[in-house]
A and B are shown apart, each in its own frame.
Chain A
Amino acid sequence: MSTDRATRPTGPGAGEPAAPPEEVPGGRRRIEGRSPWALAWQRLRRDRVAMVSLAVIVLVVLLAVFAPVVAALTGHGPDQQFRQDGLSPDGLPVGPNGTFWFGTDDLGRDILVRIAYGARISLLVGVVATALTVVIGVVVGLVAGFVGGFVDTLLARLVDIVLSMPFLLVAIALVSITGAGLGVTIVVIGSFSWASVARIVRGQVISLREREFVEAARSLGAGDVRIMFVDVLPNVLAPVIVYTSLLIPIVILTEASLSFLGLGLPPPTPDWGGMIDEATTYYTTSWWFVFFPGLALLVTTLAFNLFGDGVRDAFDPRGDRGATVVGGAS
């Protein structure tokens, strides 16, 4: 980490929002103590792109929560097949019209309703699998960095192994063995993505371990576990939060990719990746079949990515260091 940030000629920080400007309301200079969290939130709130993205995310969440309402409004169930008016005389999907706003799929089901229900799966997997990833990663990283020695070596090797495994292949293999399901998808994603989090946390903890406040806590009689979780953990949360916000869209994409490869939730569960997979044979005749689920997926991940970008800028106005998150699924 270089320290002479003030001398750089290229503008504030690494080009992102500068440290919050001194606020001098009406000439009255008031010094106000703000926690780093409050500062970050303030910066984030001022980031228009991040706020718009947050609004989009909230919309997607609402769509997921109120999926039954969408179904009730259209009068179409998510798995209901409308073979009469939902399919053309040749048995092909029907394009967007007054009854089916986003058209129908190959079985005459309402794509709009299925997208609404599919949002539930994407968000659920995205949030739960990310949470699992972060919890495992933080605990392993904390223990490895704090305890050190043999435990650290062992855990570091484990991290190496997990990072050396071809993630998507092993994930496919696991799912093919256990059978597809919501829990399996979450566990598979969680158990292979934690290693990068552990690496980041470990690095931070190693530098924090020797600091005075840890020494102070110890002299007050605090045990290792207490020091780790009460004293050290809050100090590594900022990078973890940044990483988490960037991880969610990757997890959503991974889940969609697994579904696309036919390893997602078993049909007829509506799932964006699975819907696109079903649409691949129809993309030449029924564009809407690919377009709307694809658009839903793209808008959601884009919103999460832009928001995560804002979160990173808010916590680390310096710039892009450490911005690389494990690649998703290509």
Chain B
Amino acid sequence: MTRFLVRRVGQGVVVLWLITMAVFALFYIAPNNVARTLAGRQATPETIALVAHRLGLDQPIWKQYLLFVWRALHGDLGYDYYHQVPVTTILGAAIPVTGSLVLGAAVIWVALGVTNGVVSAVRPRSATDRSLTVFSLFFYSMPTFLLGLVLLYGLYFQLTLRGITVFPAGGYVPLAGGAWPWVQHLVLPWFTLALVQAATYTRLTRGSMLDVLGEDYVRTARSKGIGERRVVVRHALRSALTPVVTQFGIDVAALLGGAVVTEQVFSLPGLGKTAVDAINQQDLPVIIGVVLLASTAVVLANIVVDALYAVLDPRVRLH
């Protein structure tokens, strides 16, 4: 186990290192006019050069990159170009927003997806199974932004029109500002994200439950006279959840890197929106910060998932 962890963390670090290089190179190759934008429209070339010098943009790329890596290793991701706010501060402000969004949605999509999957698998090809399949494929095919707009139209606009103001149009209220306002602002984004995601989990649980329900040990359990409910929930579901756990780890990690579209629709100032704003301004330090954070989440999730796999399924050996 220790050897596995060491090896995987080592590989993860290499992956992250290569990603930072790629992003750095990407933005260096691009026509960079941050200094010009910052210096203002009427700036002389000297002013622009001065601004570029202050930001370290006049240094050769490898020097800029080494400086970045050196600072990053000390927990300093630099300052954003426009307001000189530390990138770590910006990320720190955005993480709770994205975290609240993704984790809340995750609870809903797992509950919904796994329940539907089990119900489907218990009676395959029944009317229930078929309608649940159509239900999940419907939301699976739904663009997130469209679902967001539909929910906004129905539950914000139409209700508000009738004088019922339960759901706001968007924005974020920290949990510290009270649990109810926090929930109120997040319910629609939660369901937007969860309904789209749940479909995958329904399909996954269904398929894996069907496999497991055909195993010998399930037959043994049944022939011992254990009730069907107990066989399904205690015996089958437990081992059927392994692929679901894998998918869950990967999805949550990927979304923590920014549920870009959902955050955009509901104007939630999370990592995704922060990144999009930064990209529009070519604010390189912020972009790299978000990309690095998002990639770290994915790399970590992969390691955790693989380790967890071995814990859940004794047949899996780590090496």
Which residues on A are within 8 Å of B, measured CB to CB?
A: 2, 5, 7-11, 14-16, 157, 160-161, 163-170, 172-174, 176-178, 249, 253, 256-257, 260-261, 273, 276-277, 279-280, 283-284, 287, 290, 294, 297-298, 301-302, 304-306, 309, 319-321, 323-324, 327, 329-330
Contacts and interface: CB of A to CB of B under 8 A. Distances in A.
10 contacts: A157-B14, A161-B18, A169-B260, A256-B145, A261-B261, A294-B150, A309-B133, A319-B207, A321-B208, A327-B254
B294 A297 contact: no
Contacts of B114: none
Given A7-B216, A8-B213, A277-B145, 14 more contacts: A5-B214, A9-B214, A10-B214, A14-B124, A14-B207, A161-B18, A166-B257, A169-B257, A172-B275, A172-B279, A257-B261, A294-B146, A305-B141, A324-B200
Contacts of B153: 283-284, 287, 290
A173 B196 contact: no
Contacts of B133: 309
Interface in B189-217: 193, 196-197, 200, 203-204, 206-208, 210-211, 213-216
A280 B261 CA distance: 13
B125 interface: yes
Contacts of B125: 11, 15-16
Nearest to B133: A309
Contact of B210 (A165, A306, A320): A320
A305 B137 contact: yes
Q: How large is the interface on B (under 10, 10 to 19, 20 to 34, 35 or more residues)?
A: 35 or more
B270 interface: no
**B contacts with A: majority SS:** helix
Contacts of B140: 305
A298 B207 contact: no
Contact of B204 (A170, A173, A324): A324
Given A160-B15, A169-B290, A173-B23, A323 B204 contact: yes
A330 B19 contact: no
Contacts of A280: 149, 265
Given A11-B124, A324-B204, A165 B280 contact: no
A320 B204 contact: yes
B110 interface: no
B138 interface: yes
B146 A164 contact: no
Interface of B: 11, 14-16, 18-19, 22-23, 26-27, 29-30, 121, 124-125, 129, 133, 137-138, 140-146, 149-150, 152-153, 157, 193, 196-197, 200, 203-204, 206-208, 210-211, 213-216, 219, 243, 247, 251, 254-255, 257-262, 264-265, 272, 275-276, 279-280, 282, 287, 290-291, 294-295, 298-299, 302
B259 A330 contact: yes
Contact of B211 (A14, A160, A301): A14
Contacts of A16: 125
B15 A157 contact: yes
A279 B213 CA distance: 48
Nearest to A8: B214
**A contacts with B: majority SS:** helix
A169 B298 CA distance: 13
A170 B291 contact: yes
Contacts of B145: 256-257, 260, 273, 276-277
A257 B144 contact: yes
Contacts of A324: 200, 204, 243, 247
Contact of A306 (B18, B23, B137, B295): B137
A298 B203 CA distance: 19
B189 to A, nearest CB: 11
5 closest pairs, A vs B, by CB?
A320-B207, A15-B124, A8-B214, A166-B294, A166-B257
A253 B214 CA distance: 36
Contacts of B290: 166, 169
Given A166-B291, A257-B261, A320-B208, A283 B141 contact: no
